[in-house]
Amino acid sequence: MLTHYGWSDTLHHDFAPFAARGLAPARVIAQHRGLWRLATDAGETEGRISGRFAHEAAALSRNRDGYPVTGDWVAAEAYADFAVIARVLPRRTAFTRQAAGTGQTAQVVAANIDVALLTASMNADLNLRRLERYLAATYESGAEPVILLTKADLCADPQPLIEAVEAIAFGVPVLAVSAATGEGLAALEAWLRPGRTAVLLGSSGVGKSTLVNALAGDARMATAAIRESDAHGRHTTTHRELVALPSGALILDTPGMRELALWQAEGGVEAVFADATDEVARLAEHCRFRDCAHEREPGCAVQAALADGTLDEDRWKSFRKLTRELAHAVRQEDPLARQAERKRWAAIHKAGRARTKAKREIDD
């Protein structure tokens, strides 16, 4: 049975030390509060974590990113009607965000994913800035991104929206799909090959669960219509579940995320905005000051490019926002970084006061 859930010769080799301890391999296929559903060679069973596992995970990190999540491979002690998870195997990929409402803590949304299907509905809620966040998190995860524009059957003219998304995706495949009509589903099958694991990520109401049902050929996940008043979705998926498709691929449905705060995704942000950063680096060579911050300095070539439209202002603002957000997270996590940032701003304010004083003396 594990072969259907992605078990491979590499995993078999890496599992040898656990097998020598009498542990059995399993994959987490569903995750609820304090409970896990596991796929094992003997079939599906309920999983729990051992007390020792919980203690070690808590001791290693204040974040809960060491606990099992859907998609994880685990080593477990198998019993008649349940299994006790003793260890999580090293993750090949992990889609991680800053946990909502908990301060600076990480939350692993999905593990061991081959392809991340970033979903956005082709309605009034389509947000390019949100897609940039998902792309950054996906690049950081190690998975391959694919953008799905859902509910294509409800869009009279999808091409302008597709082109707008392609303009910020830079080579990432963009597919217009419809679970109602089947449009685009055949093209999507190229990323849903046997043994591969995909995850659907996006806001509520974009049609993730409906898409899973269409691909699976039956109503596996609950669905609900979006609100007509504002095109926003309703939460229907309440847990993460790995579904085996007829093609032999696996697809993981996730609850809609109201927010996606990035977690240690500097490399992902750089990958998403490589075009903007390259252009800014070129422009910066023509700034009046070598240490130009590209904000309000006189003679700033970047600000001049923004003013005449040479540099896309929305992209630049999005890049600055995400880099500042990540820098803030680092400062919150690292006391030395906080201290360095305080010194930097103290120097900025001191220089500002000196300029003001010098200007007053000249005016006098």
Q: Is 359 exposed, middle or buried (0-12, 13-18, 19+ CB in 10 A)?
A: exposed
pLDDT for res 229:
46
Cβ partners under 8 Å of residue 164, min gap 6: 128
329-361 residue pLDDT tens? 666 655 555 455 455 545 544 655 565 566 556
250-273 residue pLDDT tens? 999 888 776 788 888 889 998 999
Q: Say whether both 127 and 172 belong to one domain.
A: yes
211-223 residue pLDDT tens? 999 998 865 555 4
Q: Say whether both 160 and 146 belong to one domain.
A: yes
Query: Does residue 316 form part of some domain?
Result: yes
Query: Does residue 267 form part of some domain?
Result: no
Query: Does residue 128 form part of some domain?
Result: yes
pLDDT for res 330:
66
Q: Say whether both 244 and 277 belong to one domain.
A: no
Token pair of 62, please? 């204040």
Q: Say whether both 20 and 61 belong to one domain.
A: yes
87-146 residue pLDDT tens? 999 999 999 988 766 555 778 899 999 999 999 999 767 899 999 999 999 999 999 999
Q: Say what the alpha-carbon torsion angle 117, 272, 267, 29 is, to the nearest 10 degrees.
A: -10
Query: C-alpha distances in angstroms, 355 versus 19, 344, 350?
Result: 69, 17, 9
Q: Say whether both 173 and 146 belong to one domain.
A: yes
Query: Does residue 153 form part of some domain?
Result: yes
Q: Say whether both 172 and 287 belong to one domain.
A: no
Q: What is the CATH number of the domain that holds 165?
A: 3.40.50.300
CA 30 to chain centre: 19
Q: What is the CATH number of the domain that holds 39?
A: 2.40.50.140
Which structural domain range is residue 55 located in? Answer: 2-88
Q: Say whether both 330 and 298 belong to one domain.
A: yes
Are 136 and 98 in contact, with CB atoms under 8 Å apart? no
Q: Say whether both 107 and 60 belong to one domain.
A: no
Last residue of a domain, one of 88, 118, 135: 88
The Cα 169–Cα 165 span in angstroms is 6
**pLDDT bucket at 363, cuts 50 / 70 / 90:** low
Q: Say whether both 216 and 118 belong to one domain.
A: yes
Q: Say whether both 238 and 282 belong to one domain.
A: no
Task: Give the predicted TM-score (pTM) of the model.
Answer: 0.81
Last residue of a domain, one of 253, 281, 299: 253
